[in-house]
Amino acid sequence: MKSLEQNQKDVLEQYEENVAGQSQKTGIFAKPKAMSIFTVIELEDLEHPTLAVSIELPYRVGRNNSVILSGEHAYLTTEKHLHVIDVSIPQRPSYLTSLAFPDKIGKVLASGNYLVVASEKKFYLVDVSQPLHPALESTGHLPQRNPIKDFDVLNDHLYVIGKNDHLYIFYAPRGQARLVKAVELEKRWWLLSLKADGIEVKQVPQWTSITFPADLWDPFVSQRRFLQLHSSKQEKVRASSIFLVVEPTYDLLSFNVYRVDDQQVTSYTGYHNLGWQFREYLTATGQKTLTRRIPARAYAVANGKMQEILPELSSETMDVEDKRLKQLMGPVTDFQISGDRLYIVTANGFFFIMPIVHPYIIEIENMRDIEIMKEGLSKSAIEKVLSPSPPLLSATPLQASRPISLAVGEGEHFAYVLSHPVH
């Protein structure tokens, strides 16, 4: 495994010819064919996000790849590479280097000065204490080399779900992973939360009561984190100290803890019907068409170097028809919690911002809303008992790309999106 420098010649021969022909004339370089796109979105005005810059990479991206932030760097994965981008000045990100892997990789997470990168049957611990020179520290796998379904990292522990429906807990400080516990998951588990220490995990079962389940209440009150692992129903899970959000394809369910008269209250706070909220947003803003935006500045990576390129001048204007809004935006591909807001990207290139909790909360007797969502009743039945969904703050069509993963910086000033280009 080594840092990439000059190993993309086959992809970039045409690019080098274009550079030689144009650099003397303009100083702006022709664009090689992109196989993945890293986009920075400026969030100074939450109602009008700005596409600040994009970097096109000649590395193919897959649907399991991801982007994360750690310190002043963004780390993203493509099919067989880990990439390091300096975002200390987010409006002018700088591509630093890439690290090649022997097999296809997917998700990446950070733990201190180390990254955990997973392939189908292995996980790699990468030392990024020197981001310009990432180094493979160790490689691990599950017992009997069971395939990996998902993983999370917290406080020197690595939590890995195998496709054999077992949870494996590794102690992984300083780039070395040691298996300390294996737990067979129950048939009806839904979410996983930590107990008193890193090796004790509570399985939250699918509930049947119409009251708010104590299995959700306890992790909030005790400040034990929910693990951000796909639920047993394959839903994406995102958690902060006060919010839990679960995504069943198009819509989102949120839970949170808040204080009322010095009492801590834990409740179900929202059924976020993204299609309906998108329609309401368009009605409120009076928009009949949407135009996909183009980043103010664009770069392409070639032979390990980043060159400024001519931006695409063409744009796509879309007629917004109420009956096809869900098809227009596509299903949710990733979402993140930052503060009290949700940041969402969808498969067809949309970036949404919304509050998790409506400005006013209507208390629902016996929390019947949970049962309604479980039973999958109609939208009209849901609206009869649910508090109003929080309104969208903004809906932004991205450049011609299909977002795969999203990261949001501290302070909510910038968002970073990894996308597959639309050719």
CA distance 342 to 256: 13
CA distance 404 to 295: 18
Record: fold of 9-421: Methylamine Dehydrogenase; Chain H (2.130.10)
Q: For 71-100, what is each residue's pLDDT tens digit? A: 999 999 999 999 999 999 999 999 999 999
Lowest pLDDT segment from 1-15, 134-148, 238-252, 345-359: 1-15
CA distance 140 to 222: 32
Q: How many Cβ atoms from other residues are within 10 Å of residue 399's Cβ? A: 22
CA distances from 338 to 42, 344, 346, 409 (A): 15, 11, 18, 8
| Confidence category of residue 26, pLDDT binned at 50, 70, 90 | very low
CA distance 77 to 165: 25
Q: For 284-302, what is each residue's pLDDT tens digit? A: 888 888 888 889 899 999 9
Q: For 263-276, what is each residue's pLDDT tens digit? A: 667 777 677 888 88
**Number of helical (H) and strand (E) elements in the chain, helices listed first:** 6, 30
Segments making up each domain of the chain, as ranges: 9-421
For the segment 180-194, the average pLDDT, to the nearest whole number, is 92
Are the C-beta atoms of 33 and 43 separated by less than 8 Å? no
Residue 27 pLDDT > 50: no
Higher pLDDT: 25 or 193? It is 193
Please write down the HEC assignment for all residues of 96-149: EEEEECCCCEEEEEEECCEEEEEECCCEEEEECCCCCCCEEEEEECCHHHCCEE
CA distance 38 to 419: 7
Lowest pLDDT segment from 62-66, 142-146, 358-362: 358-362
For the segment 323-334, the average pLDDT, to the nearest whole number, is 87
Strand 236-239's sheet: what is its strand order? Answer: 236-239, 243-247, 252-260, 263-272
Lowest pLDDT segment from 27-36, 45-54, 163-172: 27-36
Tokens encoding 348: 């067809």
Lowest pLDDT segment from 56-65, 241-250, 357-366: 357-366
pTM, 2 dp: 0.85
